[in-house]
A and B are shown apart, each in its own frame.
Chain A
Amino acid sequence: MNAPLMIFFVLAAVAVFGAVSLILQREPIHSALSLIVVMVALAGLYLLMGAEFVAAVQIIVYGGAIMVLFVFVIMLLNAGEEERTNFSKLATYAGIPLALAVTGFIAAAIARSGGYLPAAAPNGALTSTKTLSMLLFKEFVYPFELTSFLILVAILGAIVLAQREN
């Protein structure tokens, strides 16, 4: 087994472990911490694919900005320990088969593609900051601007909703 593959498995295991722990933790802040672990592990995976810029931005935006807000709100509201309720009937009868089905589909898709999955871009050739910005601001400029407009609308909405109470 070569080194990148080994690193991949370690990071993947960390990400999956974090994701499972996110659901199982009863303390909201532990869940948030698990989610941060997932984000950082994902950044490591991006780095492994040679996408350095995306990896750094993943940590800055998701690991830093967004998760800090989560943690901040949890701390501010002093959200207590979650109460375990009995699983609802729907979760047992529909959820478990559905989860199994989704896992099956993904496994089947991977199995059918055999060893022919396309390889990641070799060492940042495709994902350097310059190439990325060229793609964003030339080829995909309309979707990019539309997305930013969407975010602007969301910000305005948040301000309007917050103002109404006063």
Chain B
Amino acid sequence: MNEFLASYAFLIVPVIKIGILVFLVLTVDAYLTWLERKVVAHIQTRWGPYRVGPHGLLQPLADGLKFIFKEDPMPAGVDKIAYFLAPFLTLMLALTSLAVIPFGPQRFTIWGYETHLGIADVNISLLVLFAITALAVYGVALAGWASNSKYSLLGGLRSSAQMISYELALTLSVVGVLLLAGDFSLRGIVEQQAQSGKGLLSWNIFPQIIGFLCFFTAAIAETNRVPFDLPEAESELVAGFHTEYASMKFAMFFIAEYTSMITVSCLCTILFFGGWLSPFPLSWTFTQFLPPVLLIAFGLWTIYDGIRYETIFGRLLLPGVGIALLALGGALLAFPVINSYIQGPFWFLAKVFVFLFVYIWMRGTLPRFRYDQLMTFGWKFLLPVSIATWF
């Protein structure tokens, strides 16, 4: 058995890692929808989901079940191949792009096979990401064209035009970071930011703050999110390119959108905010205790909130979750080895979460662009500015 594992580890280990990552990402996608509804609701002084589970925490589960059991009608006159291909292509590309993201600095060996936190460590990972982004246009464009509906077609056309225009600014605004790092690999870019050991101050954001703003703006446009969600502008186009999709096929577009939000947040973190690096200088070793302290504080708050909750289910579930968080935090305090191991992933995920929150925040705050404003902004402002960041 061991021999078999050792000789096929190069195949087994990545497959296990892919399984874990896909499971995690899909779960995060589901809870991102919950977070989005909650945050937008609170911005608009509403409560958001509250009925399904305590604080609506089981809402994503209910949504998922609904998607699975819904009827999946196919409109008349669709182009069958493209109609089926589009959601699969969109989801596949969105998930593939996560494969080159490094989540932490560690390298470890399983069954004699050296591996790391991330699926693939390609030395041109940034280019691979851009290649996948470049293909992602087809999913939206095909969905719009194949559905045989004027709303879908308009959404698809708008979206392809938008993605082509903003891809330029997206790629060009990264050139500054590439020049600083001298490396196409995301791991190399992060390691270059670690060199001076000054924490926050050695991140790429300081020389490249305009580059970051250009990158983030273009990336929001690439992921078709507010204020650049013209492809699915509901007041004009019903639902844009996915008007004619229902059930799991619609869910696939939805999951793909949230997955690409995660990818973009990961990219922002890696390129401009030092990836898995801690924002504090290396000499401040006490900041190592931040993850367990945060976990314990959050666990205590969850218990406090839980025992006052209205429903019995909530009074049972929330303190349970709180105790689990407390135990996790305690374990990290008790075993410093594990604590030092999770430092990288902790900071990485914390930064990614901040970007995801900004995404949602913007959705709750900003109005949508008009189509001509979108094009003028992209070509006449964003593109020249992102070229100017090279100097």
Contacts and interface: CB of A to CB of B under 8 A. Distances in A.
Interface of A: 27, 29-30, 33, 36, 40, 43, 52-53, 56-57, 59-60, 63-65, 68-69, 71-72, 75-76, 128-129
A36 B139 CA distance: 13
A76 B161 CA distance: 11
A33 B128 contact: no
Contacts of B74: none
Given A30-B81, A76-B157, A65 B124 contact: no
B127 A56 contact: yes
Q: Rank and list the top 9 A-B pairs by shortest CB-CB distance, nearest first.
A: A64-B134, A56-B127, A59-B131, A60-B131, A56-B131, A52-B124, A75-B145, A60-B134, A72-B160
A53 B184 CA distance: 10
B141 A63 contact: no
Nearest to B126: A56
Nearest to A68: B137
22 contacts: A27-B79, A29-B145, A33-B81, A33-B82, A33-B138, A43-B131, A52-B122, A56-B124, A56-B127, A56-B128, A57-B127, A59-B134, A60-B130, A64-B133, A64-B135, A65-B134, A68-B134, A68-B160, A71-B160, A72-B141, A72-B164, A128-B123
B131 A75 contact: no
Contacts of B131: 43, 56, 59-60, 63-64
B190 interface: no
Contact of A63 (B81, B134, B157, B184): B134
Contacts of B130: 56, 60
B160 A59 contact: no
B343 to A, nearest CB: 31
B329 to A, nearest CB: 42
A69 B137 CA distance: 11
B269 to A, nearest CB: 22
Contacts of B153: 75
B344 interface: no
Contact of B141 (A27, A52, A71, A129): A71
B250 to A, nearest CB: 21
B139 to A, nearest CB: 11
A60 to B, nearest CB: 5
B300 to A, nearest CB: 48
Contacts of A29: 79, 82, 142, 145
A68 B123 contact: no
SS class of chain B's interface: helix, strand, loop or mixed?
Answer: helix
B87 interface: no
Contacts of B127: 53, 56-57, 60
Chain B interface size band reads 20 to 34
A117 to B, nearest CB: 27
Contacts of A53: 124, 127, 184
Interface of B: 79, 81-82, 85, 122-124, 127-128, 130-131, 133-135, 137-138, 141-142, 144-145, 153, 156-157, 160-161, 163-164, 167, 184
Contacts of B160: 68, 71-72, 75
Contacts of A65: 134, 164, 167
Contacts of A59: 131, 134-135
Contacts of A30: 81-82
B149 to A, nearest CB: 13
B134 A129 contact: no
Contacts of A71: 138, 141-142, 160
A1 B134 CA distance: 34
A53 B131 CA distance: 11
B134 A72 contact: no
A158 to B, nearest CB: 16
Contacts of A68: 134, 137-138, 141, 160, 163-164
A71 B146 CA distance: 12
Contact of A129 (B79, B81, B124, B128): B124
A147 to B, nearest CB: 20
A56 B120 CA distance: 15
Contact of B138 (A36, A43, A56, A57): A36
Contacts of A33: 81-82, 85, 138, 142
B360 to A, nearest CB: 29
A27 B122 CA distance: 37
